[in-house]
Structure 1
């Protein structure tokens, strides 16, 4: 089943149809954004409690690192420290696991799922893998429930050389400093109804294009890398997540979000070519999760648990099959 909008080509309230935004329109867009939740309370505070408290069992073998700071004061906004969780006792013979969340700040379970994995599951793997976890790459977007950063740039199309998005550039620089070899990268995302009601129309207006609606898949799915699809790996993750929540079915054309279905719950993108977060390493095993938090058949907690289940199943697969 898929969920389709009945609206047709709305005119976004900023800009002139058919004309790409300039600085004036981007400033107008920024002016209407509002803070709706607190990065410090919902992300930083749980991380510090887990990793900086003397009594925390995680603190002996995991450390909290401030890897960069985003400075949006020139836009009249705040500074945001960026945090990663990494292994203290790095071992070269162990596979390295990278987990990224909150590249799109509005995709809540990407952030909260990463935090839940750190809190409840990370200890299971602390002696078998090296880990790097960036739970919230885009904190301003997390607070304002946004896809873009304050400059109207999508960080998940900006994992490229000389990136225009500070969020993407900081994450890339940090990972390159940590290691040259990553075995597994899980990038945590959501597909939401607001992709059709807000973020898609905004992107079309920004770029001077006409927005075309697409069906929103009802359920969980994965986006593999077309350059290294690893179908058995993707299948193992879908099997694990199916125990937590339902898997999205293809639409009548055999697609999810316009892409041909490769197998149940799996499509592929060219991650590096598109500047996606999933393309920031040369990991053999790569996938992007997509949960559907607006489904009537899933709760927010199920979405979080689906993210955690994916990470765990992915690590188990790599430990079994090697890197």
Structure 2
């Protein structure tokens, strides 16, 4: 879009109604296949893991099974390690990083922990390379019981029995140039608010939980990822996407209060990764590798530093 201050749907200053949401939905087109890219890979993991369908999203004639991959040797006396990807479907390395982790390292923790991986929370959005679901809702502001976003409600229901058993939860995301050119302008238009330009950081960073900060945990992940790709610097204000820098490559949000995915459980260690796939200094494979490095380091730290 040449002028992100003006979004081509809706009337400036007025929140969208049903007509505007329908107009937005009509413009969304399918670019890739969840079945080919995700379900086929998950199917091949059945030999080593327990694969379950934890829900189905029905959007018109399209039906999307929601898949979870668990350790086959699940034991109630072991901690639960949770990995989620694809909350925002357009954040590609979140999905493929989660799958790559399962393929390369999923069996490394057998007998030490219970692994639960949900590689693609938002399959409709994955296919359309979009942030929202068909109702123009962001799943990552709606993780609560009986959520209006089906993607969020299904994951909350899956994790409800495990809320107090999860030791570590890492949620895999990206920050892209399209955040600034498309999704933030669309959000402002949807909500009838003015668009305020921001700055996209070049590099990897993490989002900590403001109510339960774990700086040593976050730092361990940053150190591991820095061996794979570059870490984002703060801007001239000492911030990343409007939040003060706590540590190199680390900011914090009120994750639970905002209904973000990393706050679904009461995990002692929780973080949200943000990879920058549009950087000239990073390839798509590097982005996937960075997500895998983040997952492995988060797990290793959590298992080595279990709270008493």
Q: Corresponding residue for 1:11?
A: 6
- Higher mean displacement: 80-89 or 249-258: 80-89
- In the alignment, which residue of structure 2 is the partner of 1:35? 30
Runs of 4+ in 1 over 3 A off after TM superposition: 177-180
Measure, in 2, the Cα distance between the counterparts of 1:84 and 1:23. 33
Say which SS state the counterpart of residue 94 (structure 1) adopts: coil
Q: TM-score, normalised by structure 2?
A: 0.97
Q: How many angstroms apart in 1 are the aligned matches of 2:64 and 2:303?
A: 35
Cα deviation for residue 9 of structure 1 reads 4.8
**Is contact 1:8-1:213 (8 Å) kept?**
no
Where structure 1 has 5 or more consecutive residues not aligned to the other structure, the ranges are: none
Residue among 253, 256, 260 paired with 1:272: 256
Measure, in 1, the Cα distance between the counterparts of 2:4 and 2:244: 24
Residue number in structure 1 paired with 2:17: 22
Alpha-carbon shift at residue 179 of structure 1 (Å)? 5.9
Instruction: Tell me what 2:220 maps to.
Output: 236
For residues 285-319 of structure 1, give each alpha carbon's deviation from its aligned partner in whole angstroms, at most 9, with x where no partner exists: 00000000000011110100000001100111011
Partner of 1:135: 119
Aligned residue number for residue 118 of structure 1: 102
Matched with 1:184 is: 168
Query: Out of 61, 72, 88, which is 1:104 matched to?
Result: 88
Secondary structure of 2:270 counterpart: strand
The equivalent of 1:303 in structure 2 is 287
Q: 1:285 aligns with which of 265, 269, 280?
A: 269
1:51-74, CA deviations, whole angstroms, 9 ceiling, x for partnerless residues? 1xxxx4x1xxx211011000112x
CA–CA distance in structure 2, aligned partners of residues 122 and 9 of structure 1 = 42
Distance apart, 1:185 and its partner CA: 0.2
After TM superposition, give the deviation of residue 281 of structure 1 in Å. 0.4
Which of 28, 47, 50 is the equivalent residue of 1:63?
Answer: 50
Q: Kindly indicate whether the alpha-carbon contact (under 8 Å) linking 2:4 and 2:181 is maintained by their aligned counterparts in 1.
A: no
What TM-score, normalized by structure 1, do the two folds share? 0.93
Match of 2:39 among 34, 40, 44: 44
Match of 2:184 among 173, 192, 200: 200
SS of the residue 2:108 aligns to? helix
**Runs of 5+ unmatched residues, structure 2:** none
SS in 2 for 1:249: coil
The 5-angstrom pairing of residues 203-222 of structure 1 reads: 203-222=187-206
Number of equivalences: 307
RMSD: 1.3
Write out per-residue CA displacement over residues 17-55 of structure 1, whole angstroms, 9 at most, x where no aligned residue.
Answer: 11000000000000000000000000000110121xxxx
Give the SS at the match of 1:183: strand
Counterpart position of 1:87: 71
- Contact preservation (8 Å) 1:97, 1:132: yes
